[in-house]
Amino acid sequence: MLTTLLPVDERMRVHVESAVRSGNRVALDLLAEVVKENYGGREPVVLDLFSGRGILPLEAARLGVTSVGTDLSPVATLAGRLLADWPLRDWRSEAQIPFEKELVEDGLRVEGEPRLVADARTLHAEIGRRIQSKLADYYPRDHRGQLPWGYLWAVSMPCDHCRRRFPLLGSLTLRHPYSKTSDVGQSMELIVEGDAWRVEVVDGPATGQPTYTSAGKKGKSARCLFCGHIHSLDTVKAKGFAGQYQDEPLVVADFEGLGVKRTDTKKVFRVLRDDELKAALEAEPSKLPSNNGLSAIPDEEIPSGNAHTVQASGHGYISYGRLMNDRQSLLFGTLAHEIRACFEEMTQSGVSKEYATVLSSLAAGTMVRALRYATRGAILRAHGKSDGSKQNRVQIDHIFRNEASLAFQFDYFEAGIGNGPGTWAGLTETGIAPLAAHLRGLSGKPARIRRANAMALPYRDGSVDAVVCDPPYYDMIEYADASDFYYVWLRRALLTIQPDLFSEDVGTVVAPRLQNKDDEIIVRRVYNGGVKHDRDFYERSLAQAFSEARRVLRPDGHLVVVFGHSDPEAWKRLLAALHAAGFVVTSSWPSRSESTNTGVASIKVTVTSGCRVAPQNRPVATAAQVDREVTEAVKSAVREWERDGLAFTDQLMASIGRGMEVYGRYSKILKPDGTEAELDRYLTLSRVAVRDAMALKLDELPLETFDKRTRFAVFWQRLNGLTTVPKGEARFLAQADSLNFEEVRTRLLTESNRGFKLRFDPPESVSADSSTFEVARAMAGAWNEGGTETVAGVIAAAEFAANDPHLWAVVGEMVTQLPASDRVAKALTAIQRNANAISSLAQRVAETSMPDSTQLTFAHLLEESS
């Protein structure tokens, strides 16, 4: 953001580094003045047309410029306002909110904290008090008069064989033992008594077997607790669609202490008392009043075919309101009602509607955070190990296992209405503190965040100085589908409070009253009617959004695109969209930007590409000339990236931007036959340049002296190891060595739904046509089958010299790259140790009469060696 708005001046570097590394306020203020001077004394306008939660608009707002953010999603727009707009406003002149100060616990207020933080604390405390009062009958206190932390539930179903109902439990562990504190841990035992079952809580690790476990390749299966009958996953799912599931409360989690201090962290489990069991099952959320015609509990249906995003929908839970049990629904329906009620009381007492909106929206944000721990996907997470060697804290796992899908599990945890992780009080504590930290030292000009379509921006031509954006990543996340669960509950809290976001009955024909997905610029995995979000839609829509960016930009304006995706196909479509909109890449740089947690949305490094409107007078160049320039530019950058510690994968991604800088210098790039060079050519060439620039020296042999398939395999192993690679990436790697993908698809790779992995198993046969890598694989297989003689037969059959340096270099490379415990690595290590004997044997085999066929199978080799 800074470098986009600053003039080209090396003297600014030290101030930029200080501002970026530590948020130095003095440096930011200085740079803000320089930015203003750079634009002739006026505040430049910066737009993010895919603003999401508002991170980029916030960075612009901190510089005091006119920061504007738009997003199609109401949920994202609300998040952007909470981060980049309202915290930067001055609320000190607002009337006092009407809630009694004695309702706030002693010590809750912090002297001198900002008005917004203090009032948010008070409002949250008031809502928490009301929730405890109104729902007291449904959450009985324990024997000490304390509210339990939470409750473990399970879904039960009837057995197809004996017809008796049994619970679906994936784990019997409640708390692992921990030797350091002499904690023996706790677990459950399932007790059968006639046609009934019950749970007992016992000390120590679990000794019984769960009823819902993995059944290998067929997925999970359910075992009847009574007769032992096994139900397949399809049968289990069918029970849900037939309405045969039933929620069963199992155990209660209390705090060992009073649960009011941070030190009261140990959770102690027990069986529910009769009054607790009765209360848990008596909740009737349907009795809650509706809100302007909107039901208190979400009755919006989950779009069909959406089980990969909302996993519970694949088990018969077809509406958003059914993702949690009745008591949880009652809790959240009451929360939404009380947020609305507090808003009305604030405005009636003289608080401005705008400030009441801000405070109510902060409370709704806490409700959303609570939703992350409140469906049948929120499981009890018992840290530690059964042998007591690890710390054994207990928590609730939130429902998003990654950013792309809501998890589902039959045994799940419900947070109560008292204190502890996942409760309203607990989330208030962990939410207000970051808000206070966010406001501390924050200055600038509030961003303007509004809901809008990136393909039809509501701004005049030539009114924006810079567009800085992080566009949707192809098929990585189905944003609206993943956040609809939040949307349906936010509507119930904020329908009349933020009508511009939540009052419209919008959506596709197949998903009424959900977020509008027609114009969402993504590739959707499942087509369930309406607009088809395929690759062509994505590329066409992204190009239209960039065309809109070009329309609203001033003639000398900048477009900056932040993008990170492991699949080159996504890059191809992004760059094609930029090209179609009339932009060229003028600069690029990689940066580590997100955590590397596992999951579909994990991004280690993103590339920031600076773009300009393509000049009219760009020269024409030959492909040979541009090929050289791209190769030199990327190889030069590799040295810099290696100093910065970028891994091979990161360098491959970064190379695309560097190659596009060169590509964008020319209006046309002509091949020898007079046709224009395609964009694909330079995506591939950029990646080839990275590979060639690597310190990939196999015993000092030049890489180009190896056969193509071996170069492909060696590079793949260096880059990806034993992991699965998306299919688009695999094709790109083949193109890097000018290989037809079908040449390597089965010979070198194994295919699954997730992509491709490099093969290390022995090929069916070897011949003079086999690549060096295939022969090395065959040698490993031969060693395990017949030792030195069989390995020597493989070398001879492939017509390699017994001491061929390329062959032994590849053997060494494979040993280096594979884990020491790998079967292939062990075999090749043994082969290296017996290299002299194998070479002598191979020489003798080659000198004796061989079969007429130039191909030798493993069966024949075994016969020969025996």
Top-confidence residue, 592 or 659: 659
pLDDT at 590: 78
Q: Is 383 helix (H, G, I), strand (E, B) or coil?
A: coil
217 pLDDT more than 70? no
| CB 58 within 8 Å of CB 470 | no
CA nearest to 707, candidates 715, 717, 699, 695 = 715
Residue 849 has pLDDT above 60, yes or no: no
For residues 458 and 401, which has the higher predicted lDDT (pLDDT)? 458
CA 855 to chain centre: 48
Give the rounded distance of the alpha carbon of 118 from its chain centre: 34
Find the range with the poorest average confidence among 281-290, 687-696, 775-784.
687-696
Q: Provide the pLDDT for residue 864.
A: 42
Using alpha carbons only, how large is the chain's radius of gyration in Å? Answer: 32
For residues 154 and 246, give the distance between their C-alpha atoms in angstroms, rounded to a whole number: 8
Tell whether the model's pLDDT for residue 81 goes beyond 80. Answer: yes
Per-residue model confidence (pLDDT) at position 511: 47
Q: What is the pTM of this model?
A: 0.80
Question: Exposed, middle or buried by CB within 10 Å (0-12, 13-18, 19+), for 784?
Answer: middle
Question: CA 524, CA 532: separation in Å to the nearest integer?
Answer: 8
Between 29 and 694, residue with greater pLDDT: 29
Cα-based torsion angle of the residue sequence 442, 448, 454, 459 in order, rounded to the nearest 10 degrees = -140
* Segment (H or E) for 654: helix 648-663
Q: Amino acid identity of 225?
A: L
pLDDT digits (tens, 9 = 90+) for 491-523: 999 999 999 999 876 455 444 588 888 899 988
Q: State phi, psi for 851 to the nearest 5 degrees.
A: -60, 155
Type and span of the H or E element at 611: strand 605-613
* pLDDT at 699 > cutoff 60: no
Each residue's pLDDT tens digit, 660-686: 999 989 999 999 999 999 888 888 898
Taking a C-beta distance cutoff of 8 angstroms, is the pair 485, 302 a contact? no
Provide the b/e sequence for 599-636 (b: ≥16 CB within 10 Å): eebebbbbbbbbbbbbeeeeeebebeebbebbbebbbe
Contact 828, 782 (CB under 8 A): no
| 477: phi then psi, degrees, rounded to nearest 5 | -135, 130
Extract the tokens encoding 404.
Answer: 């792309």
The pLDDT-based confidence of 3 (bands split at 50, 70, 90) is confident
**Per-residue confidence at 853, pLDDT binned at 50, 70, 90?**
very low
DSSP states along 737-774: TT--HHHHHTTTEEEETTEEEE--SPPSEEETTS-HHH
Residue 396: band (very low, low, confident or very high) from pLDDT cuts 50, 70, 90: very high
- What local confidence, expressed as pLDDT, does residue 775 receive? 95
Print burial letters for 794-808: b (CB count within 10 Å at least 16), e (below 16).
bbbbbbbebebebbb
pLDDT by residue (tens digit) across 766-802? Answer: 998 999 999 999 999 999 888 888 999 999 989 898 8
Q: What is the pLDDT of residue 602?
A: 41
Minimum mean pLDDT range among 174-183, 550-559, 723-732, 818-827: 723-732
* Structural contact between residues 50 and 469, judged by C-beta atoms closer than 8 angstroms: yes
Q: What are phi and psi of 459, to 5 degrees?
A: -130, 155
List % helix, strand, coil for the chain (3-state, nearest 5): 45, 20, 40
611, 593, 720, 612: which is closest to 657 by C-alpha?
Answer: 611
Cβ burial of 577 (10 Å; 0-12, 13-18, 19+) is: buried
- Over residues 299-324, the pLDDT tens digits come to 999 988 888 899 999 999 999 999 99
For residue 356, what are the contacts with CB-CB under 8 A and spacing of at least 6? 343, 346, 347, 497
Q: What H or E segment, with its residue span, contains residue 340?
A: helix 326-348
The pLDDT of residue 147: 95
Return the pLDDT at 601: 37
Query: Tokens standing for 714?
Result: 């060696």
Q: For residues 340-344, give the mean pLDDT.
A: 97
Where are the alpha helices (H) located in 704-834, listed in sequence order? Answer: 708-720, 727-736, 741-745, 772-786, 788-797, 805-817, 823-833
Angle, vertex CA 388, rays to CA 384 and CA 392, nearest 5: 35
pLDDT at 223: 96
**pLDDT tens string 536-575:** 898 899 999 999 999 999 998 999 998 877 677 777 888 8
289, 296 contact by CB (below 8 A): yes
Q: Which amino acid is at 441?
A: G
198 in Cβ contact with 257 (< 8 Å): no
The pLDDT score that the predictor gives to residue 163 is 96
Q: How far is C-alpha 225 from the chain's CA centre?
A: 37
pLDDT in tens, 794-839: 999 898 988 888 898 888 888 878 888 899 999 998 898 888 889 8
91-105, 676-690, 837-851, range with the lowest pLDDT: 837-851
Phi first, then psi: what are they for 673, rounded to 5°?
A: -85, 5
**Alpha-carbon span 318 to 299, nearest angstrom:** 9
403: pLDDT strictly greater than 80: no
Mean pLDDT of the chain: 87
The share of the chain scoring above pLDDT 90, in percent, equals 55
pLDDT higher than 50, residue 690 = yes
Token pair, residue 260, equals 């009011």
Confidence check: pLDDT of 415 > 60: yes
Q: Are strands 411-415 and 45-48 parallel, antiparallel or unpaired?
A: unpaired
Phi-psi domain of 3 (left: phi exceeds 0; alpha: psi -120 through 50; beta: other): alpha
Q: Do residues 295 and 286 make contact, with C-beta atoms less than 8 angstroms apart?
A: no
pLDDT of amino acid 815: 83
Please say if the pLDDT value at position 604 is more than 70: no
Give the contacts of 511 (CB within 8 A, at least 6 positions apart).
300, 301, 303, 484, 517, 530
Cα separation, 680 vs 660, in Å, equals: 11
> What are the residue boundaries of the structural domains of the chain, listed by start?
147-272+375-414, 703-865
* Distance between CA atoms of residues 671 and 769, nearest Å: 32
Name which of 658, 675, 638 is nearest 588 in CA terms.
658
d(CA 487, CA 367): 11
> Which stretches does DSSP call E strand in 138-274?
150-158, 165-167, 173-175, 186-193, 196-203, 212-214, 220-223, 230-231, 246-255, 267-271
Q: Please give the structure tokens belonging to residue 669.
A: 């790039």
**In the chain, what is the straight-line distance between the N-terminal and C-terminal CA atoms, in Å?**
71
Judge contact between 311 and 302, C-beta under 8 A: no
**Tokens in use for 49?**
């047309």
- Residues whose CB is less than 8 angstroms from the CB of residue 8 and which lie 6 or more positions away in sequence, other chains included: none
Burial class (CB in 10 A: 0-12, 13-18, 19+), 793: buried
Provide the pLDDT confidence category of residue 392 given band limits of 50, 70 and 90.
Answer: very high
Cβ–Cβ < 8 Å for 158, 430: no
Q: Two tokens at 238?
A: 């069918």
pLDDT tens digits along 20-56: 777 777 888 888 888 888 888 889 999 999 999 999 9
Looking from the CA of 201 toward its CB, the CA atoms found within 13 Å total 19
- Count of residues in the chain: 866
pLDDT score, position 107: 47
**Residue 281, amino acid:** L
